[in-house]
Amino acid sequence: MPLVAGVDSSTQSCKVVIRDADSGRVVRAGRARHPDGTEVDPAHWWMALREALEDAGGLGDVDAISIGGQQHGMVVLDGGGRVIRDALLWNDTRSATAAEDLTQEFGADALAARTGLVPVASFTSTKLRWLRYAEPDNAARVAAVALPHDWLTWRLRGFGPEGDSPLGPDLEELATDRSDASGTGYFSPSSGEYDREILIAALGHDAVLPRIVGPSEAIGTGAAGVPDSIPGIVIGPGCGDNAGAALGLGAAGGDVALSIGTSGTVFAVSNEPVIDPSGTVAGFADASGLFLPLVATLNAARVLDAFTRILGVDHDELGRLALSAPVGSSPVLVPFFEGERTPNLPDATATLVGLTLGNFTPTTLARAACEGMLCGVGAGLVALTDLGVAVERVLLIGGAAQSEAVQSIAAQVVDASIEVPIPGEYVALGAAVQAGWALTGKRPAWPVEMSARPAPDFRAEIRERYDSAVAAFYG
């Protein structure tokens, strides 16, 4: 049977899944750790990829592979294909001032129209601007700019510094896809072209950028002499992490993923590009040729963690307590424990609104935690619908999504059909979809198993109470 491999080179680790190309069944998997920190030598990613492939049983019987990876990371190469300095990751915030500078120079409206984005510290363009002024000697040496998955794919194909790779430092062989390019801040999802003026304004000069390839295109094949690769293996285009997850979930137009992890992420598959000059919604491209508008929030599953500590219960008991309290019986939690990004309130704090002696109980506090957390993450869903994004189905994912209480209360907060996929490495699973697509020329239609479909139970008053509480404190 033909096999395909998908990789998720994420912030914390590298995960590999190997799937049956006919059925999509996961045959085996592997993983390896990445070092901590907000800047990392990309060599660690290469070593982790090789370790994860070995842990997954190797590529000896695999026909195609594709790599998904953390978006935005800045990998800068000199003319000899050498990494100039450690890569700055998406969560490195030292470029916040650079983001403000680029916004002032071009204007938020113009940047949103040209790139789908208003700069924030996570985007590659802002990191290049930081490099230009903080490390001008390093910036002057930059001959090419890649993203994490671009660089890994390039290495897997056999390219790299002279003496460390069989095919040498051919920078023109760097390649990427629309989804990852759309997180740089110098790419237009609408036109599919790089915006060189913005790149030059950020870095100070032009540079080689990875070639943009189509969703079903094979970038190339493995070369002899590449450790742990297989000569002739088909290598797919790769993608950004959220776009990979969308592929892995089988998301299509009208689908929205609502992810409740350490932070909250809401992204939709849209047939049309989305432009938001406020910067709340990032107008990314997806990995299928469509668009992936995305909203991020800071406060998600850790809100529930905080209430388990205060109440002295585990997550299962927190859920049981929450479900025993009727709708409308609890105070309202504004869950901005770590400030917030959506809405943009970096200095905000969390607040319990409407406390009385009658509702200051474990059950009502547990209910407030679930409602407040879901309304906070759900602000991303509201932002998408306000921009005209169609929402027909919500896919509830992330660590907290398997909670019965979170599922039931989500059905009361969200006015749409909700499905809960089984837990899985959806970025890697989506990269495997890409690999299968590149191998056969046809997008695989593998089934995605659901663990729950909570009954619709929309209660508009939950959102109304939450919005009133936020407005009372923050206008």
Query: Which residue's entry shows tokens 């959806």?
Result: 426
Domain check: are 167 and 192 in the same one? yes
pLDDT of amino acid 344: 82
Are both 271 and 198 inside the same structural domain?
Answer: no
Indicate if 322 and 358 belong to the same structural domain: yes
Cα–Cα distance for residue pair 204/197, rounded to 1 Å = 10
Assess whether pLDDT exceeds 90 at residue 258: yes
* Residue-level pLDDT at 228: 85
Residue 276 annotated in active site: no
Q: Are residues 208 and 258 in the same domain?
A: no
Mean pLDDT of the chain: 95
Domain boundary, last residue among 212, 237, 262: 237
User: What SS3 string covers 187-235?
Assistant: EECCCCEECHHHHHHHHCCCCECCEEECCCCCCEECCCCCCCCCCCCEE
325 and 404 in a single domain? The answer is: yes
d(CA 346, CA 405): 29
How many residues does the structure list for the chain?
A: 475
Task: Check residue 184 and report its DSSP letter.
Answer: S
Angle at 444 between CA 439 and CA 446, to 5 degrees: 135
**What confidence tens digit (pLDDT) does each residue in 133-144 have?**
999 999 999 999
| Confidence tier at 345 by pLDDT (50, 70, 90) | confident
pLDDT of res. 162: 87
Q: Is residue 427 part of a domain?
A: no
Residue 431 belongs to a domain: no
pLDDT of residue 145: 98
Question: 101, 177, 241, 276: which is the annotated catalytic residue?
Answer: 241
Residue 139 and residue 74 share a domain: yes
Q: According to the model, what pLDDT value does residue 1 have?
A: 73
Stretch 18-23: mean pLDDT, rounded? 97
One domain for residues 38 and 127: yes
Question: How confident is the model over 376-420, as pLDDT tens digits?
Answer: 999 999 999 999 999 999 999 998 999 999 999 999 999 999 999
334 and 411 inside one domain: yes
Are the C-beta atoms of 428 and 17 separated by less than 8 Å?
A: yes
In a domain, residue 14? The reply is yes
Q: Where does a domain end: 206, 237, 268?
A: 237
Residues 128 and 165 in one domain: yes
Residues 233 and 259 grouped into a single domain: no
Provide the CA 60 distance to its chain's centre, in angstroms: 30
Domain that holds residue 226: 3-237
Q: Distance (Å, rounded) from C-alpha 175 to C-alpha 217?
A: 11
* Sign for the pseudo-dihedral over CA of 11, 13, 18, 23: negative
Is 363's pLDDT higher than 90?
A: yes
| Mean pLDDT calculated for residue range 236-247 | 95
Q: pLDDT at position 163, please? A: 86
Find the CATH number of the domain harbouring 275: 3.30.420.40
Q: For residues 422 and 450, is the Cβ–Cβ distance under 8 A?
A: yes
* Residue 243 maps to a domain: no
- Do 48 and 121 sit in the same domain of this protein? yes
CA distance 274 to 192: 14
Tell me the C-alpha distance between 235 and 434, whole Å.
9
Residue 86 CB partners (closer than 8 Å, separation 6+): 39, 40, 41, 42
Residue 311 has pLDDT above 80, yes or no: yes
In a domain, 205, yes or no: yes
Position 346 scores a pLDDT of 83
The mean pLDDT value for 102-131 works out to: 96
Reported as a single tens digit per residue, the pLDDT across 124-167 is 999 999 999 999 999 999 999 999 999 999 999 999 998 889 99
293 found inside a domain: yes
What is the number of structural domains in the chain? 2
